[in-house]
Each structure stands twice: as structure tokens, then as C-alpha cells.
Amino acid sequence: MQELVFSLDYAKQRDAHDLLNNFQNKFYFPYIHERKALYFSGASLGLQPHNTQDEILTELEDWANYGAEGYFHSRNTWFTYHDLLVNETSNIIGAIPSEVVIMNQLTVNLHLLLVSFYRPSKQRYKIICEAQAFSSDQYALESQVRFYGLDPKETIIEVLPPPGEYCIAHQDIYAAIEKHKDELALVLWGGVNFFTGQAFDIKTITDKAHRAGAFAGFDLAHAVGNIDLQLHDWRVDFAVWCSNKYLNAGPGSVGGAFVHQKYDHENLIRFAGWWGHNKETRFQMPKNFDPIEGAEGWQISNMPILSMAAYKASLSIFEEAGMENIIKKSKDLKKFAEFVFDEVNKQIDVSNKLEIITPLSSNPKDFFGSGNQISFKTKANGKKLYEDLLKHGVISDWREPEVIRIALVPLYNSFEDVFELGSILIKLLK
């Protein structure tokens, strides 16, 4: 075990030995008071890669030069542009390419897959999900339940953290599945909770849901590009994600969905559109819908090429860095940050003590760990601390009433960033 040290020299030395250290040069950083910001808000919006503009410009030029001919004759052939994204996305989520589709945005994809995977019957109609899930997921589930004339209060079972805690115990998830197994239709869970940064054991949750006779679906908004995912091997039924957070594809950029290969020949009920139709005859526009085999068959509309160009630009960085290296650095940065927070707490007034609510690498209890995020609880005046951090060039994320979120993104955050954050916190809270 390497001895951790709270010093600039030590942080710089760790950066010098970091395989991914140069990747920060591939991104644009915001500036505050003419100084490059310390950016810890990658869980809200990932930074812009330098190559994004080139990829988008290529498509703008081809649109100008080819017009409609660009569908088949542009450099990246718009008709099959999607094929440029699925292999690299599969590497990030542990899928085979035909299980992946890049389309729409997260909540839209969640609705579309609920149409296929939430088909309540008199006997099986309940959904198990996290309490305090991201608002959009809650709205999506409630509206789906109402769509079937059911009462969300009796249908949606929320699993809460133990009293006084922020993170959910896996035992409580499994107990809920067991308790409701005869009426359970679906377990819909997050890969990483947006607020606490807690990561979940997707494999075991999926196994338990299946044993109870239910489907298992996942919202991977904060998990994709962040933690190890093996969706195919874990036999996850479906999953959805967005690309504006760790995938660095820009604000409101195109999202994605996963449907397991085991459904390739099941002809599941879905809401259909022409882009999900057999590519051979799509432009002949026959009367009967003939879905493409695999996840692509859930596409409805023609692809947003400009948005997909931004997604493509980002994927090339992931491919070059490699998911294993990203995950390894994430763990190292996280350990260092936990150590730095301990140092901060030693050096500041006890009345200001910061408490990390994200599961710690040193003490995972029955928790499964976390991704690269650290959420910490502030004492009184947390909002002011967030604003003071901003004045000192630190972009973090404030969550009412008392939590600040810090994302340590391996592609563009360094050990030095973490050291500087610690130093600024000490200065502000001494």
C-alpha cells in the first residue's frame, strides 16, 4: 500500500505516474477570473472534448455539400451513422453491439422500454425502485402506472435507506423483492445514485428480480462511463442512459438504450416508427412494420446526426483511454480524495466538519461501493460554502438542503485538482 501524503509535490508525483494524465489536454475547461477552473461538475455536464467541433463540422460540411444525398454519400454515411457508435458503446457497458441503440434521451428511452417490459397483469403489476430516485424516473414510473389505470401508491414500492442514513442497504432491496415476489412485475433501479454516488450490485439485483419472475431494468445515467458494467453477462433485461454526464457528448445530447440479446426473437410489444424498421425496406415504406433484430428495432425517428457526431467524438477518447484504465484511476482518485477530506477535517474548526455520505472505499459495509463521485454534507451555510468555492475557481454542484457533489472524472481530473480542492476547503473553513 502506498502511503498517501497531503502535499502538492505528492499530488504532482501521482499525476506524473498516471497513464491518463494527458487526457485532460483533450478537453476545454471553463475559466473563472481568467484562471482555468477546477471542474468537479462532470456528473451534471461533462466537459467538451476538443474533437467535438471537428466531428460536428464534418457533418455540417457534408450537409452543405451533399444535401439529401448525404444519407448515402456523406463521409460518414448518415443512413448507417449509428453503426459508428455501437461497438465503442458496447465496450463501455459490457454489451454485444446488437444490444445497443443510440437514440432519444434518457427519460424517453425509459418510457419506450417500459412499454415493452412493464406489462402489468392482475397478478403481477408491482414495481420496486429506489426511494428518492431522480425526479424524472419517478414521473416516468408514475405516469406509466396511471396509464394502465393503476394507483402508484399501491403499485410502486420504494426501498428507503435505513433511518438516519443516505445510502440504501442491498439487504433491504432483496427483502423487498422477496416480500412482493408474487405481484412483482419489474425492478427498476439506478446503477449509481445521482445524489449519494452509491453504486449498486446490478448483477445480484437482476438475479433476484429474475428469480421472483420479474424483469430488471436500470437507469445508468451516472453509471455509464463511470463504473464497470457487464450488462450482457449479468443478463440485465434493459437499461437506459444519457450522454451529457460522463460521456461528455454535450447538453441534452442523444442517449442510449440496451435490450438483452435474449429478446431478439421475442417480438416484444413496442411503440414503433420507421427507423426501427428493417433497413433493407425502410425507404420502400411498406405497410407492415418489420422490426430490426436487436435494440435498433426500438428506434422510432430518423437519427439526430449532429448530436451523434458529438457522441462519436467522445467515444474515440474512451476507446483510446480504455474503460479498465478509467475505472482504475477513478478508484485511486477516490481513495486520495477520501484521505484529503480527512486532512481537511483535521485542519478545520470542528463546527465545520464535512461528512462524506458516499460509501467510502475503506468501509463499504454491505454497500457495493461507488463510482467517482463524492457527496459531502456541509454544516450550516453549505450554500455559502458552494458559492465561496465558485469564487475560488471551483465548480462543484449544490444540492439542497446540505449536500455538495464532487465528481472526480478520470479523463480530466487530476490528483493535483484534489489537493487544490482540499487546500481551498481548509482556507474557507478554518
Ligand X SMILES: *Cc1c(COP(=O)(O)O)cnc(C)c1O
The residues binding ligand X (CB under 6 A) are 105-107, 134, 136-137, 190, 194, 219, 221-222, 242, 255
* Pairwise CA distance, residues 74 & 155, whole Å: 49
In angstroms, give the least distance from the CB of 334 to ligand X. Answer: 19
At a CB cut-off of 8 Å and minimum separation 6, what does 390 contact?
A: 32, 396
Specify the residue, 333 or 407, whose C-beta has the smaller distance to ligand X.
407
In angstroms, give the least distance from the CB of 41 to ligand X. Answer: 13
Specify the residue, 11 or 407, whose C-beta has the smaller distance to ligand X.
407
Specify the residue, 120 or 255, whose C-beta has the smaller distance to ligand X.
255
Q: Are strands 38-39 and 394-395 parallel, antiparallel or unpaired?
A: parallel
Specify the residue, 194 or 412, whose C-beta has the smaller distance to ligand X.
194
At a CB cut-off of 8 Å and minimum separation 6, what does 218 contact?
A: 188, 189, 190, 191, 202, 231, 236, 238, 239, 240
* Pairwise CA distance, residues 224 & 318, whole Å: 11
Question: 62 with 69: CB under 8 angstroms?
Answer: no
In angstroms, give the least distance from the CB of 108 to ligand X. Answer: 6
Specify the residue, 137 or 338, whose C-beta has the smaller distance to ligand X.
137
User: DSSP character for 69?
Assistant: G
Q: Name the nearest CA neighbour of 102 among 326, 320, 310.
A: 310
In angstroms, give the least distance from the CB of 196 to ligand X. Answer: 12
Element (H, E) at 316: helix 305-321
In angstroms, give the least distance from the CB of 132 to ligand X. Answer: 11
Residue 415 grid cell: 490528483
Specify the residue, 6 or 117, whose C-beta has the smaller distance to ligand X.
117
In angstroms, give the least distance from the CB of 220 to ligand X. Answer: 8
The amino acid that residue 394 corresponds to is V
For residue 219, CA distances in Å to 95, 111, 192, 210, 339 come to: 15, 12, 8, 17, 30
In angstroms, give the least distance from the CB of 222 to ligand X. Answer: 5
* Pairwise CA distance, residues 310 & 322, whole Å: 19
Specify the residue, 155 or 253, whose C-beta has the smaller distance to ligand X.
253
Specify the residue, 118 or 194, whose C-beta has the smaller distance to ligand X.
194
Question: 127 with 188: CB under 8 angstroms?
Answer: yes
* Pairwise CA distance, residues 89 & 315, whole Å: 7
Question: 428 with 32: CB under 8 angstroms?
Answer: no
In angstroms, give the least distance from the CB of 418 to ligand X. Answer: 23
